[in-house]
Structures are given as structure tokens and as C-alpha cells.
Amino acid sequence: VLKITLPHRFDFGEDRQLVGEDILHPEAWDALRLQTDGPFAIPADLDAAADAQPAARDRAEAIAAVLDGWEAQHLVSYGVGTALPERWLQRVRPNLRLTLTEYAPGTVARLQELLPDADVRRHDLRDGPADGDAHLFHRLDTDLDNAGWREVFGAFGDARIVVVATEVMPVRQALYRWQLVRRMPTHASRAGWVRTRGAFEALWRRTHTARPFRAGDLEAWALEPRS
Ligand SMILES: C[S@@+](CC[C@H](N)C(=O)[O-])C[C@H]1O[C@@H](n2cnc3c(N)ncnc32)[C@H](O)[C@@H]1O
């Protein structure tokens, strides 16, 4: 299984001045969440926005089925961003206790305003797990490099984790993607990393056993501690 990790770049167009050269810091994410009105922005009405993404229900149902299998009562989600996946999880499992965490402070404050009854906290996932009996990394894979992820999975070594991938890059696309990134305009911002399946699975091989599953249209894994 080929383990390939490539740098990812994204052209934010007019929002480039807000994001800067590299998306991977909390100020850049806050700028996208709070000062734009595109797909990265936190919508004023989260429930209406969740309604407009019916495909997210299938993702949530698949994640919830894994949590049911674990008899999880309290899920902590990291890097929640707009928190729409978590809105759907709460809809499909109203009795599940949910803690929403993010490292971008403005995003946390805005979510606390919009969701006054929810448990929303500022937390950097590199500081290890927050209290809960299951943990969700939903489309966070691009945000850390391989060494960063191995440290995170080490810190979460006793934890059950659902990992939902932004994208699993087919091995046959790797060369083409590499050329594409190199040819992107210089104003395209650095936007983390993309990985093949082998590269994903190498991140947690030492700490967790993994069962792959489909979360609707996305690829996912249910991780259990080896220890
Ligand atoms: C690609 S977005 C995914 C957002 C959301 N989970 C989703 O699936 O739509 C990555 C999010 O993770 C947050 N993030 C990045 N690094 C983080 C870290 N070390 N700790 C906590 N949150 C982080 C960013 O602020 C951003 O909102």
C-alpha cells in the first residue's frame, strides 16, 4: 500500500488577503469563518444551513451507528468549524451528549452565541483528548502534517476515535496532483496535506486498530486503542 502525502494549496480568490499564505493557523480560520460569506462562513442560522445539506444526514447516521456499537454516551468533536456535522449528529441521536471544540477563538465565541445550550469550548486537539467516551475528527486530516498526527494519535492512545477524511487521494492521481500543486498560481494559499489510504492508515497504526467504513459520501475509520 503506497503511503503518499502531498502538500495541498487552495486558491481563496478575493478572500486571499484575509487568509494569507497559509490557512493553518487559528487567525486565518477565524477570518474565513467570520469575515467571508462563502462556504467557510458560519451561517447565521445553523439549522437552516443543516437543512440545506441533506447529504450530511447520511454521514451523521453512519457515524452514529459506530457510536451506538461502542455504546458511547458523550462525544467530543474537534475542529468543528461551522458545526454542521454536529447539528446533524444531534438530530439523528438527540440523547447523545456532545461537546464541540475548536482552536479558533472567534469561531468558538460565535458558536457559543448561536448555540447557547450547547457545550462549546476552545481546545487545541494537539493538547490531547477532552472529557468524553468517544472522539470525532471530522475532515481535519488536511490540518496537521504526519508527525503532528502521529503525536495526536499517541496522545489519544486510550481513546476511541471516528476519523472522517476530507478526501482519500487515489494513488494513481498522486503524480498529477503533485504537478497541479506545483503549477498553482503563487497567490494560492498553503492548505495543509492530502493523503493516500496507506498514508492515512500509517498515522494510527502504532496506537489504534481501525475499521474502515463509509460515512455517506466520505471515507471514514472507527479507531480503537491497541492498548
Ligand atoms: C477543514 S476544517 C473542518 C471543519 C469541520 N470539522 C467540517 O468538517 O466541516 C478544519 C477545522 O479545524 C480547526 N483546527 C485546525 N487545527 C486545529 C487544532 N489543532 N485544534 C483544534 N481545531 C483545529 C480549524 O479552525 C477548522 O475550523
**In this predicted structure, what is the pLDDT of residue 185?**
87
Q: Please give the Cα distance from 112 to 118 (Å, whole number).
A: 7
Per-residue pLDDT band for 54 (boundaries 50, 70, 90) equals confident
Average of per-residue pLDDT values in the chain? 96
Q: Please give the Cα distance from 14 to 32 (Å, whole number).
A: 11
Distance from the CA of 157 to the center of ligand 1, in angstroms? Answer: 20
More confident residue, 27 or 54: 27
Q: Please give the Cα distance from 190 to 172 (Å, whole number).
A: 23
Distance from the CA of 95 to the center of ligand 1, in angstroms? Answer: 25
Q: Is the dihedral of CA 104, 153, 64, 96 positive or negative?
A: negative
Distance from the CA of 92 to the center of ligand 1, in angstroms? Answer: 22
Q: Please give the Cα distance from 204 to 185 (Å, whole number).
A: 34
For the cut 90, the answer to whether the pLDDT of residue 92 exceeds it is yes
Q: What residues does ligand 1 touch, defined as CB less than 6 Å away?
A: 26, 29, 78-82, 85, 102-104, 124-126, 138-140, 142-143
**In this predicted structure, what is the pLDDT of residue 47?**
95
**In this predicted structure, what is the pLDDT of residue 1?**
78
pLDDT digits (tens, 9 = 90+) for 58-85: 999 999 999 999 999 999 999 999 999 9
Q: Using most ligand atoms within 8 A of CB, pick from 8, 22, 24, 29 the residue to mutate for ligand 1.
A: 29
For residue 15, how far is the Cα from the chain centroid? 21
C-alpha cell, 191: 492548505
For the cut 90, the answer to whether the pLDDT of residue 89 exceeds it is yes
**pLDDT cut 90: percent of the chain above it:** 94
For the cut 90, the answer to whether the pLDDT of residue 227 exceeds it is no
* Helix H or strand E segment including 227: none
Q: Using most ligand atoms within 8 A of CB, pick from 140, 152, 166 the residue to mutate for ligand 1.
A: 140
pLDDT digits (tens, 9 = 90+) for 139-196: 999 999 999 999 999 999 999 999 999 999 999 999 999 999 889 888 899 999 999 9
* Helix H or strand E segment including 213: strand 208-215
Give the range among 5-14, 115-124, 213-222 with minimum mean pLDDT: 5-14
